[in-house]
Amino acid sequence: MIDAPRQSDNALAGNKLRGVGGGDTARPHVIILGAGPAGVGAAWQVAQRGLARVTVLEQRDGFGGNAGSFDLEGLRVDYGSHRLHPACNPAILRDLQALLGDDLLDRPRHGRIRLGGRWIHFPLKPVDLFLRVPPKFALGVAGDLARKFLPESNGQPESFATILERGLGRTICREFYFPYARKLWGLAPPDLAPIQAQRRVSGNSIGKMLRKLANAVPGLKRPGAGRFFYPRRGYGQISERIAEAAATAGAEFIHGAKVTGVDCEGGRVHAVRFERNGAEQVLTADHVWSTLPVGLLLRSLRPAPPADVLAAAGKISFRGMILIYLVLEQEQFTEYDAHYFPGEDIRISRLSEPKNYSVSAEPRGRTILCAELPADPGSPEWAMTDEELGRALVGWLGQAGLPVTAPVLRVVTKRLGQAYPVYRTGFQEHLQKLDEYAARIEGLLLFGRQALFAHDNTHHALFMAYSAADCLSPDGNFDHTRWAEFRKIFDTHVVED
Ligand SMILES: Cc1cc2nc3c(=O)[nH]c(=O)nc-3n(C[C@H](O)[C@H](O)[C@H](O)COP(=O)(O)OP(=O)(O)OC[C@H]3O[C@@H](n4cnc5c(N)ncnc54)[C@H](O)[C@@H]3O)c2cc1C
């Protein structure tokens, strides 16, 4: 589905199956499931430090998972708007800068949010807020502040809704966060767990919002505020360069390998089964490090987990997303990198223009828009054709005051089955059951966004990858105590938008 990355394609193709299951058998064998940022990051760190033999199994053709890129009409485009945030761990950022060199661009953020029918700069700027926020909205926020928001508790159980109403007041919630939440995660705010507000909304109180606003004021700015890193050849170039470095250090990558089973013997992992070219293949392993969706992995264990664990796996769900790409015969659609649509009147959550991320002048005379439409497999939107989705997008953009006037040369869509983990109230009990069961299997490690069900950024996924390698010693021992400490750090990660 994803085009193979140009630079690494040939280098890796010759490498793909060499040494798998044979040759260097003295060292422990780590099989990594998934070649998203977490998978390639761990492969690189383990191979580069010479800790073990590494094989990565990936069902698709390229690298980067949801953070990958593909070629479309002469431009590299991403799976929705992706930026590398300056909040990245400094050591990891230095590694990425060394790998990508001049290709890692340092760019100012330049987006807009649609609020009450008006456009406001994002990240927020005090002057813009003062001049452009709809008066009714400003009065509502002022009233909330005067009332010191809501009383501490109105008897409702704690949820995403109560935490944000207490932190931000009713107006911001009603006009902005609540409709956005319903659109992004497909649930009513009271049905979302409190942690969704704590981990997913970095400005979840007026104090934090004001600190963000202060970042737009010269002299008060935090380093990196209002900026982001972006690779010249699309966001996926991060994972492609890491994978290339991992392959150079000896890691094996097997693409087109859909993992179907993880076999255990005597309470420890023994082998991984996968389908490739229509045939089942098996590789033996000392360690299996999985970045696959947690429920999928638990269901693939042999012997199968007890019924209550399988039932818990069925209660963990992800929100899907349809990405609609419009190829337009026009140099540039707008000067902005992204437009955000919190309101429910417009069905998409975000629109990005990839050319504006990489400051690319190519291809001449055309640009591409990428719209993010949160939707679940099985929904009516999921079944729509490219042409229907393209027409719907043109309609929504017109409604939002962004009319598409240039000829639409092509419409392409991609569907992500697992875009966002959904933190439905009570999910933690089910997740804990899965986590505890997986932890009892010696040699099995879950990490990355889908496996830890973490609302994380790429830099968090890479931090998990480095942490996993830090816990492995060359004799094959894995330091579980240290990993437990790392897990506590992962719990403090907050998503940057
Ligand atoms: C719309 C959107 C916008 C985002 N924007 C940003 C952003 O601006 N900045 C940022 O830092 N992060 C952003 N993220 C988050 C970022 O995409 C993730 O943090 C990152 O992709 C997580 O990496 P991962 O390796 O943990 O998981 P993934 O990228 O999901 O990788 C998992 C891999 O496992 C593979 N796999 C799954 N099942 C199987 C199987 N059975 N067999 C073999 N392989 C399998 C998949 O194909 C995939 O390659 C965004 C995410 C989305 C959805």
Pocket test for ligand 1, best of 31, 66, 229 (most atoms within 8 A of CB): 66
Rounded mean pLDDT for each run of 10 residues along the chain, 497 residues in total = 32 34 74 98 98 98 97 96 96 98 95 90 74 77 66 72 85 87 94 85 66 59 82 97 98 98 97 97 98 98 98 97 98 96 95 92 91 97 98 98 98 97 96 98 98 96 98 96 97 85
Q: Given strand 268-276, what is the order of strands in its sheet?
A: 279-284, 268-276, 258-265, 301-302
**What domains can be seen in the chain, in order of their start residue?**
6-71+233-316+424-490 (3.50.50.60), 124-214 (1.10.3110), 318-421 (3.90.660.20)
What number does the ligand 1 atom closest to the CA of 460 have? 19
> Using CA positions, which residue lies closest to atom 38 of ligand 1?
292
CB of 66 closer than 6 angstroms to any ligand 1 atom: yes
Atom 34 of ligand 1: nearest residue by CA position: 34
Name the burial class of residue 129, with classes exposed (0-12), middle (13-18) and buried (19+) by CB atoms within 10 angstroms of its CB: middle
Q: Is the CB of 58 under 6 A from ligand 1?
A: yes
DSSP 174: I
Atom of ligand 1 nearest to the CA of 448: 26
For ligand 1, is residue 461 a contact (CB within 6 Å)? yes
Question: Which of 391, 355, 354 is CA-nearest to residue 373?
Answer: 391
User: What's the confidence (pLDDT) of residue 210?
Assistant: 61
Tokens representing 166 are 């207490």
**H helix intervals, 225-317:** 237-248, 294-299, 307-314
Residue 325 neighbours by CB distance under 10 Å: 23
Tokens of 429: 């009990």
Predicted pLDDT at 353? 97
297 lines ligand 1 (CB under 6 A): no
Distance (Å, whole) CA 300 – CA 211 = 45
Q: How many whole angstroms from 67 Cα to the centroid of ligand 1?
A: 5
Which is nearest to 249 in space by CA: 30, 401, 489? Answer: 30
Q: How far apart are CA 73 and CA 330, in angstroms?
A: 13
pLDDT score for 63: 98
Q: Could you tell me if the CB of 244 is within 6 A of ligand 1?
A: no
Does residue 40 have its Cβ closer than 6 Å to ligand 1?
Answer: no
Which pLDDT value is given to residue 14? 32
Does residue 35 have its Cβ closer than 6 Å to ligand 1?
Answer: yes
467 lines ligand 1 (CB under 6 A): no
Are 447 and 465 spatial neighbours (Cβ–Cβ below 8 Å)? yes
